[in-house]
Structure 1
Amino acid sequence: MRFVPLIICLAAISLAAPTQFLNDAYDWTDELAEFYGKVSQYINTARHSIRVPGACEASKIALPSHASGMTGPSGLKPRYVALGRGTQNYTCADSTSTSTPVAVGAVARLYNATCIAANYPDLLAKLPDLAYRIPLPTNEYASFPPANLVLMGHHFFTDAIPEFNLNTTPKKHNGIVMTKKGGAIDAPPGAVSGQYGAVPWLYLTSTDGTVGNYKSVYRVNTAAGSPPKTCEGMPPAFQIQYAANYYFFGE
């Protein structure tokens, strides 16, 4: 019998929090207070009840209910969940109100949140809201607060194709997912909007070039990332900070 590894991680998060705040690593907010409050509750519960191995079992993962508006992963199994933190990228033909921003892709780091997704979906849903407010670590391979998540891979576009490269290091190869858009729904009311709004939730299907048994990817729990309605006063190319959770399904 042993404590769930994730609980040890959560304990580290909770203990690290005061130091982070004292060092002004990021601002204290109501959202952070609520997040750490839930972490403390789970740690207390784990001390008395959760002592079973296998806490990171992906079969326990389920998409958030709002995602029911998109095509479901029928017959597919959840493989991983990642917190994505980066930018949505746009261009403008000119800086007038008659032009509208054009999406030209995204660049984000992907942090492994599979264990949290399997056991604490309420915490997972809050992570993008917090992550959007926190700069990426200077060291690319450093863990990402406030949940000390380890780097899992990168999201970017290759020849206008959304790519998820999950091969982080020579010892951590989880595959590559090349995708195309299969559907989208608006972010739910209450999503963290940033300056211009939260980007939609997406359903992506895998395409040629995928390495591994991946069939679909879902972008959910989005925070910020949308552009202004027009290009008035905007440069020819610009980036908008965002965060989201990405669910990977396969056979």
Structure 2
Amino acid sequence: MRCPLLLVPALSASTWAAPAFPKFTAALAPNVQAISDYFNILATKVQENRAAGPAPICDLSKLSLPIEAEPLGQPTPGLYLKHVAIGRGTQNYTCDLSNSTAVPQAFGALATLYNASCVTSAFPDVSAMLTRASLHFDIADNDALQRLAPADLPVSGIHYFTDGTTPFFGLDTPQWHLGEGTFGKNASTAAPLTAAKGKKGEAAVPWLRLAAKGTNTGGLQEVYRLETVGGSAPATCKGMPASFEIQYSTQYWFYASS
């Protein structure tokens, strides 16, 4: 079995118990629908699996890329899906303050990665809902607990940029050693029209396919950024500071050669 066996507490093999509901704050009020949708579909899955018996086994080999990812192309033959993570963080931008009509320039990203391998392999629809719902929980709260609300997923790594164009993914933690390395953009496609908006109505950033640059550890060769939520900058720099961040969440699918 190539993926760590981990299901969110709500999908525990021993109890299939309903999850503890998080404490909502005033800041969440406009976004209750996304969170409500997640818990509703989760409750449905819990009931279905109580009737079905034992919890599903984590098996990433059965997962296929969403149909919306077709423009990105399929993973290189011979690679296998090693890990799925939900990334929760910020897309970063800069602005030319001398020109209010200038377009904000992307300047990397910073995100914590949370282990979603087994919940995605067992319940892809729950995973997609979780990606949307997680945007509406404060980043500081998630980092402080080292768990992703509202599903209590543990940290499996970190994502940042080593320069303006080179993303780095580190999947080596005390619990898992899945590899790390740098990547470069290989393909891009606009997020689906149905993609969820960000906290302030920001459009979803594009879906991406990334290819390894140099020699990465853990056999990591390709990364897909899928199911993006928010993260896009405004159309112009009018009223924006010299540098700013837009919160986003997404799924990263990691493919490896060994």
Q: Which residue of 2 aligns with 1:129?
A: 132
Q: Which residue of 1 aligns with 2:234?
A: 228
Aligned-residue RMSD, C-alpha: 2.3
Note closer, same or farther for the CA distance 1:247–1:7 as it changes in structure 2 (3 Å cut). Answer: closer
C-alpha contact (below 8 Å) 1:95/1:231 kept by paired residues: no
TM-score, normalised to structure 2, is: 0.86
Note closer, same or farther for the CA distance 1:68–1:150 as it changes in structure 2 (3 Å cut). Answer: same
Q: Which residue of 1 aligns with 2:59?
A: 57
Identical positions, percent: 35
C-alpha contact (below 8 Å) 2:10/2:19 kept by paired residues: no
Q: Which residue of 2 aligns with 1:150?
A: 154
C-alpha contact (below 8 Å) 1:96/1:230 kept by paired residues: no
Instruction: Tell me, in whole angstroms, the C-alpha distance in 2 between the residues paired with 1:214 and 1:5.
Output: 21
For structure 1, which runs of at least 5 residues remain unmatched after alignment? none
Instruction: Tell me, in whole angstroms, the C-alpha distance in 2 between the residues paired with 1:23 and 1:30.
Output: 14
Of the candidates 111, 121, 124, which is equivalent to residue 118 of structure 1?
Answer: 121
Note closer, same or farther for the CA distance 1:125–1:134 as it changes in structure 2 (3 Å cut). Answer: same
For structure 2, which runs of at least 5 residues remain unmatched after alignment? none
- Match of 1:38, as an amino acid? I
- Equivalent residue of 1:29, what SS? helix
Q: Which residue of 2 aligns with 1:37?
A: 40
1:8-87 aligned at under 5 Å gives the runs 8-10=9-11, 14-17=18-21, 20-21=22-23, 26-27=28-29, 29-51=32-54, 55-75=57-77, 76-87=79-90
Count of aligned residue pairs for this structure pair: 244
Instruction: Tell me, in whole angstroms, the C-alpha distance in 1 between the residues paired with 2:8 and 2:159.
Output: 28
Q: Deviations over 1:184-228 (max 9, x none)?
A: 000001212223311000000111141111111000110110101
Q: Which residue of 1 aligns with 2:213?
A: 207
Note closer, same or farther for the CA distance 1:60–1:85 as it changes in structure 2 (3 Å cut). Answer: same
Q: Does 1:162 align with 2:162?
A: no
1:184-195 aligned at under 5 Å gives the runs 184-194=188-198, 195=201
Q: Does 1:250 align with 2:226?
A: no
- Match of 2:75, as an amino acid? P
